[in-house]
Structure 1
Amino acid sequence: MPWHPIDLPSLQVGLLHTLLRQARPDDEVSEYHGSLSFAELLLERSGGHLRPGDYEAVGSDSIFHGLGDWVFSGVLYDDPDWGVARLGDYAAQRGISVDTASEMRVHAAEFIDRSATDVLADDPEVVGFTTTFMQNVPSLALAKELKRRRPGLVVVFGGSNCDGPMGHALHRNHPFVDHVVRGEGEYAFPALLRHLDDGTPPADVPGLCWWDGEVSRANTETRRTVAPADIPSPDYDQWQAALEASPVIEYVYPKLVVEGARGCWWGEKHHCTFCGLNGSAMAFRAKPGERLWSEVDRLVRRHRILDVVTVDNIIDMAYFKDFLPLAAESGWDLRMHYEVKSNLTREQIELLGRAGAVLLQPGIESLSSRVLDLMDKGVAGARNIRTLREFENHSITCTWNYLYGFPGETAEDYASVIEQLPALVHLQPPGGAHRIQLERFSPHFTDPGLGFGKRRPAEMYQHVYDLPEDELADLVYLFDTEDAGVGGATEAALKRAVAAWITGHPGSSLLMEDEDEGDSGSALSVHDRRHGMPHRTHRFTGWQAAALRRLEDGRTEPALHRLLTGDGHDVPAGALDEWLRHVLSLGLLFRDGRTYVALPTRELPVRIDRGPADDSVPAPQVAAG
């Protein structure tokens, strides 16, 4: 159901389709792509005014305001005016626009009516909903209408919104939902279907919620995770047929979705304090690289689509030895998205580029080493700068957010970084600077002692659900809590500096070029064309040129001096310190504590202006380890 991205197939639906075909070959499986159908209806009923870009603005960009769920809340509660006044007050307090969502809400009832007719036309016995982020309310609205029309129909919910206590709360508050699968579905869903075949209570299906008369039962969840060998390859045939027959295809670039791994190997050792994405399934598991490549190759050949989105929360480092070389050698002109850890080597980033990775989410999150320590990220600010620079060198787009608001951080942790941000304008900026939100399953949530002792369901849920707060406390994923860390002048300065970075980036460059000096060695020219800084060319020779090259990997002053001496350079006493201070003042270095990193890039990729930052609509806070 909405608000799944309409340019992507549903991995969950695709996996379960293959699973059922293998486990129950006599069953007939039909898919309903409600997100696509809703986008079609909006396009039709608005005379082309409400386009897929508007769908994305409500469905993805407004996650932290609940607008997508609100569009369908009036249908769920049989009241067109339900939540309208509450949202109006909420939007006025925050200065956000809800005009597009309000236009869409007018069409929600017709969509649910049409969807129920389409789904029941296949005469199903079981209807399964997958729900993540803002798919809850539209799914509940359709489930309610399906059960009203056909009370004997079995309705099953699953997905990330059903993990842990959320699944039980969803079940016990909505009697028209027969079963909720909490956790991974590869083992649980076929087991449930066997009980439905036999007419027996599913009391032995781990994690399942079911009705025992009028009592909502929640079976104990299992610690057993689905083995990679038991994760099927998705079936996207029905999705592609639906998309190619849709007028929406004129507005989107279809992409394939693949899965190589589940869980997070970094989170198993050091769970990033703010991240709740893996829910109750942190254990890292990965398919062998050869198998993942065979799946990608099969899907690309079958669907003739070269854009590939991987949903892994973090790349399996073994893929640098098997999967990525296979992709690089394949000859396919792939355009892949991957989530990685930010402390990649130059060689690893180069391999990602050769393999077709054009968009990476490196989980940078901050450029302050102390704040990164508070997050338990396991990386330093200097290393994040190196990663941003190497993405430029290999024409890889990276997406990240600058997060703040961590318990224990101080204005001093930000002062040096904010002062240096203008020098970074040639590197890829974050989507914005955003205060962290309290997420269920994160260490910040599970351990109030980390600094967030007070919490309540996020205010946005007041215009989404008609439920008491104690039920919302189990049902929802996001929570409001007291602000921590920096605020006031420091917060404002960070936001201004990041907004300026975003604005100045498209026309900025800081390019380093080697020059052959014959017998005397090689020199370096650095062409500074950064927004807000004097346009000029700096030239370095001798040990100074060697020092700038060495600083591409980041060094302290003593380490740099040892390297230069070892290379045979005679660096006068005190000259290196003086030179470092000078080059730092020119904005050619970034200083992180005692470590200096060279900022000039070796390559100059094509830039696209992303426009000014909009702090009223924060980008999703996604962790990549």
Structure 2
Amino acid sequence: MNLSIKNGDFIFAVMPWAYPDTPVLGPSLLQSILKNSGYRSQIIYPNFQFYHAVDPVLYYSLSNDHSLFELSDHLFSCYIHGKERIKSDHFLQALGQQHIEHKLGKNYVEFLSRIRDVDIPEFINALALLITEKEIPAIGFSCTYNQVLASMALAKGIKKIQPEIKTIFGGPSLAGKMGIAHHQKYPDIIDHIFIGEADEIIADIVDGILQNKTDMKIPGLTQYKNGLVKGPDRVPVTQRLDDLPTPDFSDFFEQRNAMNGEGVHLPTMRPLPYESSRGCWWAEKKNCSFCGFNGLARQYRLKSPLRVTAELESLSTAYVNLDFSACDNNINNSHFDILFPTIAQTNVDYSLWYQIRPDISKKNVMALKRGKVVYVHAGIESFSDNILKLMQKGVKYLKNIQLLKWCREAGIKVSYMILWGMPGETPLDYSKMAALVPFIVHLDPPLRMQFIELHRFSPMFTEPDKFGITETYIRENYQYVYPLDMLEPDLFYYFNFYASSTKDAMEYTKDLHDAINLWAELHHNIETKPVLEMKLGKDFLLIHDNRCGENLKYFLNQIQKEIILYGDSICKISTIYDLFKLKCPELNTLQIYNEFETLKKNGLIIIENDQYLSLPTRTLIMA
């Protein structure tokens, strides 16, 4: 294995199935903290090596498809437990009944068997040997999603050769009870699990290891003693983000460049990660029903605008990069007033990615655009007010469409998903959404429809009765990840659930699935991409509409023009009636009503109760 490891360094290992298109923010930040504290560390990216060893398309599927996470974990679990103990041959054959061929190909059993029997043992054994040849005091694993089993496999390989090397695990997949349960079941390969944010603690951990302390009473760190794991007395949460150093991505680029120099084709890089806040300010008020993110650290904390811009400048200069993706869960309103105007004043052509709530104002959309934001992931989730209420989103569907319209006008790409299977939803919710789609196909389509997952820490998990969930249970395929005698709910983040209201969801969501698939297809080809655009005249409005496949032109009169322009943001219909009574007293109520009906009939406005929203877009002129 061609991977350079330095003598004496504390190592962070980024294991499969992390996708090798971006550095990992957490370990990169901890590495900078250790450097500032006088300790040497190195981040190794074995996921590069493994990506090259297996089929890249297969790696991508196992890395990114949530429905395949148990399979990707299973393959490394065979190294830990033995394939017979977790019935691997039976599992791989049974996958055919789960219609896996369309994701992994017809020869998936052959490919997966080779990964399990050849690629993984060779990969883990070579990596463990390489690490143990150096004077390494400890190795750390930060585990998200499906990295836990791969990390434990390497820890086992290391312990077989050199058991005195300390293994420390952390990350969101081992938060809370999950970390304690894993340590209790695998004390032979896990020395400690860190629960919480390690920024202010990591130097103490490394110092304790270097001094061979056997009883490190450090906040957030588990201890195994006399056959039992003692969890941490408190979970550390970093308060002052401005005090944190800039993350160090140099190991990522050094190893990536070395692989590229050997002719290995790694995937195109994504924007570099950074953070301008932590936690979720909305969750502090009312957590979304399905969301378990930041389960132990929802408190919202901000970096100052000057600190964020300084960090962007430093990272951009160090790695000759202009594309950045914020790891923030959502944007605080103060960022619109201070951070993005500050970034706008920089003479640098950044391309920034952010996650946002959909209920932001047009002024704030403009602030994003001026602040070099080109891509947002929005928490839209549904176009049904009933479902959005069940999800505790704190927003109505017209706001979601309004955001899509404004971002289209500003040239900001929006990604989002439509979630289905929410307990309490009705077939009528989906028939209404399916009927709505043809009117909004000129806006960015969702990435996909996603069945609602039950996450640990989410309100649906902690208060199932409130949501009509009558049964919560371990996912069936977990029996092929952990031996049956080790299975317990505390190990897991994802669960299955049963709610009688959604038992026929596959049937009543079909029309919406079909409509969204067609919507996405229309946007794949520039020639078929729908438009609904308007151009202003002095006392008229021209509309170009090809949403239905025909090129339609509408000439709107002064009254219709006023209705469209006032409806740029969600507007009360009664407000428009009052307005026209003042501006045009000669107009009667029936005349105004007829103009609304004409616009509605042509799909140029959406009316919901006493509110409406106009749908045509107009390219914004950025001041």
Instruction: Calculate the TM-score normalised by the size of structure 1.
Output: 0.89
Change (3 A) 1:376 1:333: same
Tell me if the contact between 2:18 and 2:147 (Cα under 8 Å) persists in the aligned partners: yes
| Residue type of the alignment partner of 1:496 | D
- Alignment match, 1:12: 26
1:614 corresponding residue in structure 2:
none
Structure 1: distance between partners of 2:29 and 2:344: 26
Q: Who is 1:402 aligned against?
A: 418
Query: Aligned equivalents of 1:564 and 1:171: distance in 2?
Result: 70
Aligned twin of 1:306: 322
Aligned positions of 1:213-224 closer than 5 A: 213-222=226-235, 224=237
Shift of 1:545: 0.7
Residue pair 2:171, 2:195 contacting (<8 A) in 1 also: yes
Match of 1:503 in 2: 521
Higher RCO, Cα 8 Å, sep 6+: 1
CA distance in 1, matches of 2:599, 2:119: 60
Describe how 1:52-201 pairs up with structure 2 within 5 A.
Answer: 53-62=57-66, 65-79=69-83, 82-96=87-101, 97-98=103-104, 99=108, 101=112, 104-105=115-116, 106-175=118-187, 176-201=189-214
Q: Secondary structure at the match of 1:552?
A: coil
> Identity of counterpart residues, as a percentage?
28
Could you tell me whether the CA contact under 8 Å between 2:80 and 2:152 is conserved in 1? yes
Instruction: Indicate which of 485, 489, 492 corresponds to 2:510.
Output: 492
2:529 and 2:582 mapped to 1: Cα distance? 35
Where do residues 513-592 of structure 1 align in structure 2 (5 Å cutoff)? 513-516=534-537, 521-530=538-547, 532-568=548-584, 570-592=586-608
Please state if 1:338 is matched with 2:382: no
User: Could you say if the C-alpha distance between residues 337 and 485 of structure 1 is closer, same or farther in structure 2, counting changes exceeding 3 Å?
Assistant: farther
Where does the alignment leave 5 or more consecutive residues of structure 1 unmatched? 43-49, 606-625
Partner residue, 1:598: 614
- Maintained 8 Å contact 1:427/1:505: no
Task: Output the CA distance in 1 between the equivalents of 2:376 and 2:584.
Answer: 39
Question: Any conservation in 1 of the 2:138–2:209 contact (CA below 8 Å)?
Answer: no
Q: Deviations for 1:444-499, whole angstroms, at most 9, x for unmatched residues?
A: 0011222223111122322222254652x001111011045442542222212222
For the residue of structure 1 that corresponds to 2:540, the secondary structure is: strand
Say if 1:89 and 1:571 are closer, same or farther in 2 by CA, change over 3 A.
Answer: farther
Is the CA contact (8 Å cut-off) linking 1:191 and 1:205 kept in structure 2?
yes
What's 2:9 paired with? Answer: none
Deviations 1:528-565 (A, max 9, x none): 112x4442111102111111111111223212222344
Q: Which secondary structure state, in structure 1, belongs to the residue aligned with residue 291 of structure 2?
A: coil
2:405 corresponds to which residue? 389
CA shift digits 1:383-439 (9 cap, x unpaired): 110101111112211111111222222223333222111111111111222221111
Against the structure 1 CA distance between its residues 346 and 104, is the aligned structure 2 distance closer, same or farther, given a 3 Å change threshold?
A: farther
**Aligned runs of 1:239-254 on 2, under 5 Å?**
239-247=252-260, 248=264, 251-254=267-270
Contact 1:524-1:540 at 8 Å conserved across structures = yes
Matching residue of 2:11: none
Seen in structure 2, the aligned counterparts of structure 1 residues 485 and 381 have a Cα distance that, compared at 3 Å, is farther
Residues 101, 334 of structure 1: alpha-carbon distance in 2 compared, 3 angstrom cutoff: farther
Q: Secondary structure at the match of 1:211?
A: strand
Secondary structure of 2:508's aligned partner? helix
- Contact 2:183-2:193 at 8 Å conserved across structures: yes
Q: Give how far 1:224 is off.
A: 4.8
- The 1:578/1:533 distance shift into structure 2, 3 A limit, reads farther
Match of 1:296 in 2: 312
Rounded to whole Å, the distance in 1 between the matches of 2:363 and 2:130 is 51
Deviation at 1:40, TM superposition (A): 2.7
Residues 272, 504 of structure 1: CA spacing in aligned structure 2 closer, same or farther, 3 A cutoff?
A: same
Asked whether the equivalents of residues 406 and 484 of structure 1 are also in contact (C-alpha less than 8 Å), the reply is no
**Compared CA separation, residues 40 and 94, structure 1 to 2 (3 A):** closer
> Equivalent residue of 2:596, what SS?
helix
In the alignment, residue 30 of structure 1 is paired with which amino acid? Q
Cα gap change, 1:537 to 1:19, in 2 (>3 Å): same
Task: State the AA in 1 paired with 2:29.
Answer: L
Q: State the one-letter code of the partner of 2:417.
A: N
Q: Equivalents in 1 of 2:451, 2:292: separation in Å? A: 15
Distance 2:457 2:326 in 1: 22
2:265 matches 1:271: no
Q: Output the CA distance in 1 between the equivalents of 2:363 and 2:221.
A: 45
Closer, same or farther in 2 for the Cα pair 1:581/1:465, shift >3 Å? farther
Cα deviation for residue 155 of structure 1 reads 0.6
Q: How big is the shift at 1:567?
A: 4.7
The answer as to whether partners of 2:138 and 2:168 remain within 8 angstroms in 1 is yes
Counterparts of 2:369 and 2:134 in 1: how far apart (Å)?
A: 45
SS across alignment from 1:246: helix
> Which residue of the other structure, out of 403, 415, 418, is the alignment partner of 2:434?
418
Counterpart of 1:155, as a letter, is T
CA RMSD between the two structures: 2.3
Counterpart in 2 of 1:283? 299
